[in-house]
A and B are shown apart, each in its own frame.
Chain A
Amino acid sequence: MNQINRLPGGLIDRTEEVKFQFNDKWMRGYPGDTLASALMANGQLLVGRSFKYHRPRGVFTAGSEEPNALVQLRRRAAQEPNTRATVVELFEGLYATSQNHRGSLEHDLLAVNDLFAPFLSAGFYYKTFMWPKAFWEKLYEPIIRSAAGLGRLSMQEDPDSYDKGFLHCDLLVIGAGPAGLAAALTAGRSGARVILADEDFRPGGRLNAETLELDGMAGHHWAAQAVAELSAMGNVRLMARTTVYGAYDHGVYGALERCTDHLAQSDGKPRQVLWRIYSKRAVLAAGATERPIAFGNNDRPGILLAGAMRTYANRYAVAPGKQVAVFTNNDDGWRTAADLYAKGVEITAIVDSRDGPALLDIPGARHYGGQAVMDTVGRKGIKSITLTDGKVIPCDGLAVSGGWNPNVHLTCHQRGRPEWREDLCAFVPGGDLPPGMVVAGAANGAMTLAAALSEGAVKASAQIQDLGITPKGGDMPQAEDEPRETSAFWHVKASKKRAWVDLQNDVTVKDVKLANTEGFRSVELLKRYTTMGMATDQGKTSNIAGLAILAEQAGKTIPEVGTTIFRPPYTPVPLGALAGRARGTDFRPYRLTPSHKWAEENGASFVTVGNWLRAEWYTRPGEKGWRDSVDREASQTRTTVGICDVTTLGKIDIQGKDAGAFLDMVYANTFSTLKVGRVRYGLMLREDGICYDDGTTARMGENHYVTTTTTANAVVVFRRMEFVRQCLCPDMDVHLISITDGWAQFAVAGPKSRDLLRKVIDAEHDISNEAFPFMSCGPVTVCGGTPARLFRISFSGEMAFELAVPARYGNAMMAVLNEAGKEFDATPYGTEALGVMRIEKGHCTGNELTGQTTAHNIGLGKMVSQKKACIGNVLSQRPEMIRDDAVRLVGFRPVDRSRKLIAGSHFITKGDAANMANDQGWMTSVAYSPNLGYSIGLGFIKQGQDRMGEIVRAVSPIHGTDMEVEIVSPHFVDPEGERLRG
């Protein structure tokens, strides 16, 4: 196919050809083309199918507002559905296919829907498909779903990468048309830090599309000159291919820069960058969007908006045909006739809904004043139009202009409401703009070139003046105020045929009327009932016509009916760009323990705990599954000695004269009475009296404590402590530092733990039971003078210590401990063995302290002091929280010791039916105890403290299990605690 519709001139580079494929057909275009202009040049007017009726559709606009020409761009994993052909830059080898048809684009089997259109009116699906009931999921919905949707995802991982960035400026100028360029030039010349962003690959806006002159120079030349000047300014960042998609609070704007979309390959570069722009002020110069007029069969390929037709002729040097008719309700439509004629296209008719004289004399073009287009012919490309007087005029292209709508979208992102301007027949930005934003040019209703230029300069001057910058160089070139008279004419009432309002979603004038008849009278209800404006173009070309027809039906004015407001994003943004680099294993950072390297080298497998990676077990030769390793680690720790990295527990250093009093406030029990060199278990409540966290606190000196938190709560406990310190007790002399990452900490547990540590801790430190009994703490040195802290605390229930060294020594310390432990048959152990041993001892962790648990539930009600001010003690005494029959934490073992308990089972009293009314509680944690030789569990059961020895059912209907278990003490091993004191 050759470029049969190519015209002379244009802003394309004819020195080289670009080959591309559409529906596997090779075609040619030029650099500077969009896919849409290249398709048009090649005579490919049929580009896609509509959503509901599968009507043949062609390119309708020349920008991001395109409702029709959506394609699937690229292949395989890079396939990109719903891509507007009107904004795709042509590149060598571009591959695109049409979408939303069954069979070929030319012969779409679902086009049969068009024949059934009378039965598919607005909201028809709410009125049927209800019988029989089960058929919705089985029959109706699958059919609807497979027919609905538009393009296809590849179902493969997005092969491209995306970046995020942050920019700051004095003035953000959105849109690089005449108003935006004038604004950026003014602010830039004045020395302000300016960002100028435009969605197009060629800045200039309508200057690139029109034949208007500035200072006697072609508009696109002036634009290029302005761009060159701006590019040379160090204080201006010019961002083409960048859409400002959202206006967020406090001058923050979201912008998407398309970096490699115009290239055949990304070559490892980020495809797009999502910018967050922090602006002190902004000028919105987003231009205007033309709107169509609704008339019979106004959706055929070859029917374009008049301004778009001009863009194609002037900028891309293409037209949809050789004989074009124009249908307009305003002066601007006439320019299309003039510009196309100048390019050698025959103008067969100028139909102006206004009854008046011809505005221009275009040879060969007949003017039909006070007339309208009532119908068109030509299924896959327009062939003729029929006027209201019945006259049929052949044509192969029709340019339609219903006037222009200022692009007010971003002014609405913070709930601003546009206002109706009668002279423009359009909504303009209202008074309630996002703070810091002003609007200039066509976006503000300044529809002519001269007005746009001057408004851009004036508004930018005022904006930077506000910031204390003196404006200079705001003189703008001479330009004309072209005729822009318009009229309110929305749809051709005489037309009996279906007249489209929303092209993509197939909403017609009849649908709007039906919605009104049925009572969907608010514009929001209209939108939701008919789906008008809900397609990928978000109603950019359709909303106002729909609104006007609704107003007419309701006998109201447009401002009385009101308008819908626009929400971000201005144009759709890929989810990949919004996620940026945070995907795959980079979704969140990894935190590694100090001994991670040693663990890797010694057979550890790792588990994710929050953002941490922790060793879960260490596999030894011959061990076949994780249970082998875990059983060995737990048994060995209880018989010899085990070593575990416990650095992930939160560690908070608390110092100051009031440190003790501070801890008394944040913990339910008392710490001010703790002696120096001693450690105490602490229980922390939330203000609502529920258990928040627990851990040990060591008093290292008179005014110095070190508190540990659970791994999960390290951050939130620290935050809460700062709240108490700054907001509740602002005069306490106390300071907090998080030292979680500063100290590597190792549990050394088991009967041989002291023997092992004696080899590591320098000899002058006496760690005998007499000198350093259970719950002691103090500074020590290790390995010949390295500072360390030693705590005699035990989570495993064995005689145990925790040794802390500065984090940089952590990996070496782990190696030294294990080396020193060899003669005692020491083992490193991971989180699983840690878990087994804590269940054997009945200690709580996150499975028990779920944020719903009271101290009473875990048998620690007495720890909550009522003799001092502390967080949570008052509300912990509410009646429902201290009931005798509340659930209590107890131990469980299977009556048949060979059975395996299941965490999450619920308890049912023997003889009762298993249902929610009889629910007695649930199993929180289970483990196989290698020391007991059977499965054990912890759990909450009503009044558990009084039910020792009772046999109840543990049911897990999700597993289909139901077993008898015995209620026992949660302390399965060494209930008297002799070992840990040994």
Chain B
Amino acid sequence: MRYSGFRVLKEGLTGNKGWGKAWREPDPKPEYDIVIIGGGGHGLATAFYLAKEFGLTNVAVLEKGWLGSGNIGRNTTIIRSNYMLPGNEPFYEFSLKLWENLEQETNYNAMVSQRSILNLFHTDGQRDAFVRRANAMLLAGADAELADAAQLRQELPFLDFDNARFPIKGGLFQRRGGTVRHDAVAWGYARAADSRGVDIIQNCEVTGFQIENGTCTGVETSRGPIRAKKVAMCVAGSSGRVAAMAGMRLPIESHVLQAFVTEGLKPVLPGVVTFGAGHFYVSQSDKGGLVFGGDIDGYNSYAQRGNLPVVEDVCEGGMAIMPMIGRARLLRSWGGIMDMSMDGSPFIDKTHIDGLYFNGGWCYGGFKATPASGFCYAHLLAKDEPHPTATELRLDRFITGNMIDEKGMGNQPNLH
């Protein structure tokens, strides 16, 4: 069924009785060409692009819980491509371009809203680094814009310009950045992949790998064994646990990142704003809630909850740059488990086991990468060679010393 305004009108007039299932609920078949482990944003996107771009539809997505139950459903919905390093920037810009056509490609309104993202800076050193970054973005074909304090005062008069501990000196805009209705991304990809023949199997937990002579030939699941020519891990947040079943140790630690939303408010914020002297980033959802976050709690965790020091630290950051939010109320907080990698950058690569592929290590930047991650993973799975924008996202880069360390924090995951 194709969604459209006309369809909404027609159904509205006939009692909304004609809407069908958004996706099938198939039982797993005994064998597939490709089995994707993980029905989150990246896994569903991978399935969609495998079908759409590479014509591979004998594909199953296995999801332990309900689809989209991982970090696609618990993030701060920001999209952007304001990266600096050559290993990253082309990939994220590719992702942003895919976001720009997402709804037309999937026939699902995920509310991709290019309302801009602004990174504030507060020192000359930060400004120099942002100029370098902005130029890298422009050289990679992305957009960037530098604003001084006077211009920001015009555009965002509610920021604290006059009484700030760390005065705002300016900011880096990416106008094409913005937000997306996160759950709808999973649903859109799921529906579009399903309609092309991909089996999306919920409540199907992978419990082991079938590995014969160094080749992966399938998976064991809570719904029985499934054979596959290729098995694709796509379980960021649980990568350590799943990879351990294949005997792998990864350059990844699992950490919890909290996110927050306020009660609904009439429009306050035009776009995304990030603080440069504390841990705080914020946008406003279409429903009106301020959606914000900060730093990870900082200790290894598989518990989807955080603790108070970070909650307070993040709100301090918020009040420091926009003291007009003091009377808005925090409505809900939640925690998601992040694959924190050793250089802050992800992996899309083959593993040392034939037929077993790995996608993970997204730290807390996985949401914005969803389309490109899916596209590039599909490319790797279909052609056995990396997509041109993802050649550096290798698992062996710490052996060779070719790290992609945007923040320069080294091999300590909780600092990225």
Q: Do A and B touch, yes or no (CB under 8 Å, in the complex)? A: yes
B305 and A415 contact, CB distance less than 8 A: yes
CB distance B139 to A904 under 8 Å? no
Knowing A906-B139, A916-B90, say if A851 contacts B409 (CB, 8 Å): yes
What 0/1 pattern do residues 91 to 135 of A give for CB contact below 8 A with B? 000000000000000000000000010111100111111110100
Q: Does A149 lie within 8 Å of B267, measured CB to CB? A: yes
Name the interface residues of A569-626: CB closer than 8 Å to any CB of B: 569, 572-576, 578-580, 582-588, 590, 607-609
Which residue of B is nearest A616, CB measured?
A: B124
Q: With A126-B187, A573-B330, A582-B316 in contact, is A922–B401 under 8 Å at CB?
A: no
Q: Which of A53-61, A247-255, A370-378, A701-709 contacts B (4 or more CB under 8 A)?
A: A247-255
Cα A254 to Cα B309 with chains together (Å)? 11
Provide the residues of chain B in CB contact with A851, threshold 8 Å: 405, 407-410
Q: Which residues of chain A are within 8 angstroms of B405 by Cβ–Cβ distance? A: 690, 851-852
Do the beta carbons of A518 and B21 come within 8 Å of each other?
Answer: yes
Whether B128 pairs with A128 at a CB distance below 8 angstroms is no
Instruction: Name the interface residues of B357-401: CB closer than 8 Å to any CB of A.
Output: 397, 399-401
B300 proximal to A (CB < 8 A): no
Q: When the two chains form their complex, are residues A572 and B329 in contact, meaning their CB atoms are under 8 A apart? A: yes
Binary A-proximity of B260-298 (CB < 8 A = 1, otherwise 0): 001111111000000000100000101110000000000
Q: If A150-B288, A584-B163 touch, does A572 touch B331 (CB 8 Å cutoff)?
A: yes
Q: Which of these, A517, A688, A916, A959, contacts B86 with CB under 8 Å?
A: A916
B4 near A575 with CB under 8 A, answer no
Query: Is the beta-carbon distance between B165 and A575 smaller than 8 angstroms?
Result: no
Give Cα A521 to B357, complex, Å.
31
Query: Is A904's CB under 8 angstroms from B135's CB?
Result: yes
A578 touches B311 (CB 8 A): yes
Q: Residue B138 at the A interface, CB < 8 A? A: yes
Q: Which among B66, B122, B158 is the interface contact of A522 at CB below 8 angstroms? A: B66
Query: Closest CB-CB distance, A276 to chain B, in whole Å?
Result: 6
CB–CB A573/B329 < 8 A: yes
Name the residue among B135, B138, B397, B402 with the largest chain A CB count within 10 angstroms. B135
Determine the chain A residues whose CB is within 8 A of the CB of B265 once the complex forms: 81-82, 149-153
**B128 touches which of A130, A525, A583, A904 (Cβ 8 Å):** A904
Residue contact A905 to B324, C-beta cutoff 8 Å? no
Shortest C-beta distance, A527 to chain B (Å), equals: 10
Please tell me which one of the listed residues B8, B268, B332 contacts residue A153 in the complex, with CB atoms under 8 A apart. Answer: B268
Tell me the nearest residue of chain B to A146, going by C-beta.
B267
B residues within 8 A CB of A557?
Answer: none
Q: A653 an interface residue at 8 Å Cβ cutoff?
A: no
Q: Is the CB–CB distance between A958 and B323 below 8 Å?
A: no
Q: How far is the CA of A956 from the CA of B137 in the complex (A)?
A: 11
Q: Give a binary string over A204-244; 1 marks a CB under 8 Å from any B CB, 0 the rest.
A: 00000000000000000000000000000000000000000
Contact between B113 and A133 (Cβ–Cβ < 8 Å)? Answer: no
Q: With A and B bound together, what is the CA distance between A82 and B11 in angstroms?
A: 34
Q: A916-B86, A958-B138 are in contact. Are A587 and B165 (CB under 8 A)?
A: yes
**Set of chain A residues within 8 Å of B202, measured between Cβ atoms:** 522
Contact mask for chain B residues 127-153; partner A; CB cutoff 8 A; 1 contact, 0 none:
111111111101111001110000000
B5 is an interface residue with CB less than 8 A from chain A: yes
Interface string of B150-167 (1 = CB under 8 A from A): 000000001010011111
Q: Does B413 contact A (CB under 8 A)?
A: no
Contacts of A584 in B (CB 8 A): 160, 163-165, 320, 323
Residues in chain A near residue B89, CB distance under 8 A: 916
Q: Which residue of A lies closest to B307 (CB)?
A: A248
Partner of A133, one of B20, B103, B303: B103
The answer to whether A118 and B327 touch across the interface, beta carbons within 8 angstroms, is: no
Binary contact track A843-881/B, C-beta < 8 Å → 1, others 0: 000110011100000000000000000000001001111
> At the interface, yes or no: B76 with Cβ under 8 Å from chain A?
no
Chain A residues positioned under 8 Å from B52 (CB to CB)? none
Q: CA separation between A603 and B89, bound complex, in Å?
A: 44
Contact of A608 among B12, B166, B266, B333 (CB under 8 A): B166
Tell me whether B16 and A567 are in contact (CB under 8 A).
no
Interface 1/0s, chain A 494-536, versus B by CB < 8 A? 0000000000000000100010011111101100110100111
Report whether A578 and B315 are in contact in the complex, using a CB–CB cutoff of 8 Å. yes
Q: Tell me if B222 is interfacial: C-beta within 8 Å of chain A.
A: no
Interchain CA distance A681-B115 in the complex, whole Å: 49
Give the shortest distance, in Å, between B138 (CB) and chain A (any CB): 4
- A958 adjacent to B134 (CB under 8 Å): yes
| A846 surroundings in chain B (CB, below 8 A) | 125
Residues of A within 8 A of B320 (CB): 579, 582-584, 587
| Chain B residue with Cβ nearest A164 | B312
Looking at the assembled complex, report how far the CB atom of B105 sits from the nearest CB atom of chain A, in whole angstroms. 11
- Is B69 in contact with chain A by the CB < 8 A criterion? yes
> Measured between alpha carbons, how far is A779 from B146 in the docked complex, in Å?
50
Q: Is A919 an interface residue (CB 8 A)?
A: yes
Contact A879 B411 (CB under 8 A): no
Instruction: Say whether A157 contacts B134, CB under 8 Å.
Output: no
Q: Tell yes or no: B3 within 8 A of A by CB.
A: yes
B68 interface residue (CB < 8 Å to A) = yes
A906 to B132, CA, bound (A): 7
Chain A contact residue count (CB 8 A cutoff): 123
User: B128 to A536, Cβ gap below 8 A?
Assistant: no
Q: Please indicate the chain B residues that have their CB under 8 angstroms from the CB of A764 in the complex.
A: none
Chain A CB within 8 A of B246 CB = no
Verify if A414 is at the interface (C-beta below 8 Å from B): yes
Q: How far is the CA of A826 from the CA of B163 in the complex (A)?
A: 35
A25 at the interface (CB under 8 A from B): no
Give the Cβ gap from B401 to chain A, nearest Cβ, in Å. 3
Tell yes or no: B184 within 8 A of A by CB.
Answer: yes
Closest residue to B145 on the A side, CB-wise? A958
- With A575-B325, A875-B401: A688-B411 Cβ-Cβ less than 8 Å: yes
Is there a chain B Cβ closer than 8 Å to A660's Cβ? no
Distance in angstroms between the alpha carbons of A162 and B329 in the assembled complex: 14
Measured in the bound complex, the distance between the Cα atoms of B128 and A384 in whole Å is 70
Answer yes or no: A154 CB below 8 A from chain B CBs.
yes
Q: Which residues of A contact B11 (CB under 8 A)?
A: 121
Residues of A903-957 whose CB lies within 8 A of B? 903-906, 914-916, 919, 922-925, 955-957
**Bitwise interface map of A from 258 to 281 toward B, beta carbon under 8 Å scored 1, else 0:** 000000000000000010100000
Which residues in A have their C-beta under 8 angstroms from that of B13?
Answer: 118
**A248-B323 in contact (CB<8A):** no
Distance, CA A710 to CA B167, complexed state (A): 23
Those of A548-577 within 8 Å (CB) of chain B: 567-569, 572-576
Residues of A within 8 A of B325 (CB): 153, 158, 575-576
Interface: B319 (CB within 8 A):
yes
**A648 part of interface (Cβ distance < 8 Å):** no
Instruction: Please measure, in the bound complex, the distance between the C-alpha atom of A155 and the C-alpha atom of B181, giving whole angstroms.
Output: 25
* B66 proximity list for chain A (CB < 8 A): 521-522, 524-525
Across the interface, A955 reaches (CB within 8 A) one of B65, B135, B144, namely: B135
Provided the pairs A81-B263, A415-B304 are in contact, do residues A575 and B135 lie with their beta carbons within 8 angstroms? no
Residues of A685-703 at the interface with B, using a CB-CB cut-off of 8 Å, are 686-690, 692
Give Cα distance in the complex from A332 to B182, angstroms: 42
Interface membership of B403, Cβ < 8 A: yes
Bound form: Cα–Cα A696–B404 in Å: 30
Contacts of A401 in B (CB 8 A): none
A80 CB–B CB distance under 8 Å: yes
Q: Which residues of A contact B311 (CB under 8 A)?
A: 254, 578
152-173 of chain A: CB within 8 A of chain B? 152-158, 160, 162, 164
Q: Are B69 and A524 in contact (CB under 8 A)?
A: yes
- Give 6 nearest A-B pairs by CB, closest first: A851-B408, A904-B131, A158-B326, A878-B401, A149-B288, A576-B326
Ordered by A's residue number, 19 sampled pairs between the chains whose C-beta atoms are within 8 Å are: A126-B110, A126-B188, A127-B109, A145-B286, A149-B264, A149-B265, A151-B265, A157-B324, A246-B308, A574-B327, A576-B327, A579-B318, A583-B323, A584-B160, A608-B122, A690-B410, A692-B410, A879-B400, A904-B133
Q: A130-B104, A878-B400, A958-B138 known; 17 other A-B pairs, CB under 8 Å?
A: A127-B108, A131-B5, A133-B103, A150-B266, A522-B69, A538-B331, A567-B334, A568-B332, A569-B332, A575-B327, A576-B327, A583-B326, A608-B165, A686-B410, A692-B410, A880-B402, A916-B136
